[in-house]
Amino acid sequence: MQPTIKFALIGALSNEFNLMTNDPPVITLREIQVRFGKDPLLDGANLQLIPGSRTCLVGRNGSGKSTIMKIIAGLFEPDNGQLYFEPGLTIGYLQQDVPLPNSGNVASFVANTGHTEAARFEVDDILSRLDIDGDRDISSLSGGESRRTALARSLLGNPDILLLDEPTNHLDLQTIQWLEQTLLNSKTTILVVSHDRAFLKKITTDTLWVHHNQLLHNKNGYTDFDRWSEAILDDEVKAEHKLRQKIRSEEHWLVYGVTARRKRNQGRLKSLEQLRERRRATLKGETSVNIDSDSGPISGRLVIEAKELVKSYKNKNIVNKFSTRILKGDRIGFIGPNGAGKTTLLNLLIGNLSPDSGRLRLGSNLTIALFDQTRQSLNLDETLWQTLVPEGGDSLNVRGKQRHVVAYLRDFLFDEKQAKSPVSSLSGGEKNRLLLAKILAQPSNLLVLDEPTNDLDSDTLDVLQEMLDDYDGTLLLVSHDREFLDRIVTSTIAIESNGIITEYAGGYSDYLYQKKDQKRSIDDTGSKKRKKTQKNSKFKNKTLKKLSYNDQRELEKLPKIISNLQAAKKQIESILADPNLYTQDALKYNDNAEKLNKLNVEIIEAEDRWLCLETALEDLSK
- State pLDDT tens for residues 271-320: 666 666 666 665 554 433 332 222 233 445 788 999 999 998 887 888 88
Q: What is the pLDDT of residue 148?
A: 84
In terms of domains, do 357 and 277 share one?
yes
Give the pLDDT confidence score for residue 264 in this predicted structure.
56
In a shared domain, residues 551 and 517 = no
Average confidence (pLDDT) over 251-258: 48
> Exposed, middle or buried by CB within 10 Å (0-12, 13-18, 19+), for 570?
exposed
211: alpha, beta or left? (left if phi > 0; alpha if psi -120 to 50): beta
Q: What is the pTM of this model?
A: 0.65
The answer on 341 and 207 residing in a single domain is: no
> What pLDDT score was predicted for residue 223?
92
Q: Are 56 and 208 in contact (CB under 8 A)?
A: yes
Q: Are residues 337 and 193 in the same domain?
A: no
Residue 174 resides in a domain: yes
Give the domain range for residue 49.
Answer: 5-89+160-238
* Mean pLDDT, residues 314-338 taken together: 87
Task: Determine, yes or no, domain membership for 468.
Answer: yes
Residue 556 maps to which CATH number?
Answer: 1.10.287.380
Is residue 288 a contact partner of residue 616, using CB atoms and an 8 Å limit?
yes
Q: What is the pLDDT of residue 294?
A: 27
Task: Give domain status of residue 181, yes or no.
Answer: yes
Closest-CA residue to 81 (of 3, 158, 133): 3
Which of the listed ranges 48-57, 224-233, 283-292 does the model predict with the highest average pLDDT? 48-57
Residues 524 and 566 placed together within one structural domain of the fold = no
Q: Which residues pair with 42 in a beta bridge?
A: 34
Check whether residue 347 and residue 201 sit in a common domain: no
Could you give the number of structural domains in the chain? 3
Instruction: Name the phi and psi angles at 274, rounded to 5.
Output: -65, -40
Q: Are residues 551 and 523 in the same domain?
A: no
Is the pLDDT assigned to residue 26 strictly greater than 60? Answer: yes
What is the C-alpha to C-alpha distance for residues 578 and 585, in angstroms, rounded to an integer? 11
**Same domain flag for 233 and 346:** no
- Three-state DSSP state, 3: coil
Q: Is 418 domain-assigned? A: no
Res 54: pLDDT: 96
Last residue of one domain, picked from the residues 472, 501, 528: 528
Q: How many other β-carbons are positioned within 10 Å of the β-carbon of residue 210?
A: 23
Query: 228 and 297 in one domain?
Result: no
Is beta strand 302-313 parallel, antiparallel or unpaired with respect to 316-327? Answer: antiparallel
In the three-class reduction of DSSP (H, G, I as helix; E, B as strand; rest coil), residue 196 is classed as: coil
Confirm whether 461 is domain-assigned: yes
Q: How confident is the model at residue 392 (pLDDT cuts 50, 70, 90)?
A: confident
Residues 285 and 354 in one domain: yes
Domain boundary among 479, 494, 528: 528
In this predicted structure, what is the pLDDT of residue 201? 93
Same domain? For 470 and 615 the reply is no
- Residue 116: inside a domain: no
* 26 part of a folded domain: yes
Q: What CATH number should be reported for the domain holding residue 176? A: 3.40.50.300
Classify residue 180 by burial, with Cβ atoms within 10 Å: 0-12, 13-18, 19+. middle
Q: What is the pLDDT of residue 280?
A: 64
| Whether residues 224 and 82 fall in one domain | yes
Q: How far apart are CA 571 and CA 578, in angstroms?
A: 12
The answer to whether residue 96 sits within a structural domain is: no
